[in-house]
Chains A and B, each alone.
Chain A
Amino acid sequence: MPVPSRLDEYIETEKQRHFSRDFVVGWEEYETWDEATVGQSGAGQRTFKISEEDILDYNRACGETDPLMVDPAYARKHSPTGELLQHPVFVTTIAFYSLGETGIGTWIRTPGARNPQQRIEIVEPFCYGEIVTTTATTTDKFTQRGKPYLQMLLEFRNERGVLKARWWCSLILPQTRADVARFANA
């Protein structure tokens, strides 16, 4: 099931060009609710090098118009960091890119997933050029009112090990791989 071609017109960044955009391809490799183990921890599949274009496109997609967030030349002169300020939910991009298609936390790509709640903490802003490693720790899984919830803590650290942000990520998921298959093959 190909991704609609109209989406190509929104490609603005190098990461978007190379990212595996079809979440229905390779679903067999995603971690599932019934296979996830609470306490298990590991780094995402790839690191994320912070670039101006990543931040700029996220800010624009959120509808931001503040020049400190969408005008790189203005931000270089006037921003307290000398760089574009990033929207606080920008870690979403880092997480989806970093967790990739196989291994821990890949359940965030699951077709059929529903989003009940999220918590993001910002420790300090990301800086251009930082190489961010995302570490995922499965923190809880439970069933509530018949819905299977899976939760993980994502920690985002730069190449010097400095903690930049945390995301407590929760989704309601298809419970088994067979349940995922029903959505993937819909």
Chain B
Amino acid sequence: MSMTFKTIEAGYTFPPVVQSYAQAAIDHYALASLDMNPVHTNEEWASRAKVFGIPETVGHGMMTMSTLASVVTRAWGVIGKDRGSLRFVDAKFTKPVKVGEVVTATGKVKRKHYHGPGKSWVQIAVEAKDSAGDLIGLAEVGYNLPD
């Protein structure tokens, strides 16, 4: 479907993204991102250090940020068919994601920013919740759309 600044409306809702935070998924993310902090990958260390007050490994904040951004990019593309493109992701993390969680992220167009022909973008509010329904992170995503 063609997505343009003119046709998009505030309130547009994105399909949810569901992401496993099983240890295998966290391990893969650790290698791919090169963020090998033991709080993510070393269960023995995590049980002793209790960085977040819990004796378990947790997912990376950057993995949560990736899940949040994917809500927009899976729907519209990193670079869209109409040459739209993601311009920024601004994320906050509100609760550690325990190993074994399944996270569901959702998003909605919050505001349209008109800056003249070829320069307009939309602001998208994205949030992610764990399997208990607790908020684990939220983000503002900026996305350039063709006129």
Contact = CB atoms under 8 A, between A and B. Distances in A.
Contacts of B115: none
A118 interface: yes
**Most chain B C-beta atoms within 10 Å of own C-beta, residue among A11, A88, A96, A111:** A88
Interface stretch (B2-10, B85-93, B106-114): B85-93
A67 to B, nearest CB: 12
B90 A15 contact: no
Interface stretch (A21-29, A37-45, A150-158): A21-29
Nearest to A69: B78
Contacts of A92: 33-35, 62
B45 A24 contact: yes
A177 B89 CA distance: 32
Nearest to A66: B74
A120 B91 CA distance: 9
Given A1-B38, A117-B92, A186-B45, A61 B78 contact: no
B42 A89 contact: no
Interface residues of A, number: 55
A81 B79 contact: yes
Contacts of B41: 3-4, 7
A119 B90 CA distance: 4
Interface residues of B, number: 50
B3 to A, nearest CB: 15
B29 A62 contact: yes
Contacts of B79: 79-81, 85, 125
B83 interface: yes
A80 B25 CA distance: 29
A96 B31 CA distance: 11
A93 B66 contact: no
A142 interface: no
A85 B79 CA distance: 8
B54 interface: no
Contact of B37 (A19, A89, A93, A113): A113
B65 A118 contact: yes
Given A3-B42, A4-B42, A23-B38, A12 B31 contact: yes
9 contacts: A1-B42, A1-B45, A7-B36, A10-B28, A19-B36, A88-B86, A116-B93, A118-B65, A121-B88
Interface of A: 1, 3-4, 6-7, 10-12, 15-16, 19, 21-24, 57-58, 60-64, 66, 68-69, 79-81, 85-89, 92-93, 96-97, 108-122, 125, 183, 186
Given A61-B31, A80-B79, A115-B93, 10 more contacts: A12-B31, A68-B77, A69-B78, A89-B66, A92-B33, A114-B51, A117-B93, A120-B88, A183-B51, A186-B45
* Closest CB pairs A-B (n = 7): A115-B61, A61-B32, A96-B34, A186-B49, A10-B31, A85-B78, A89-B66
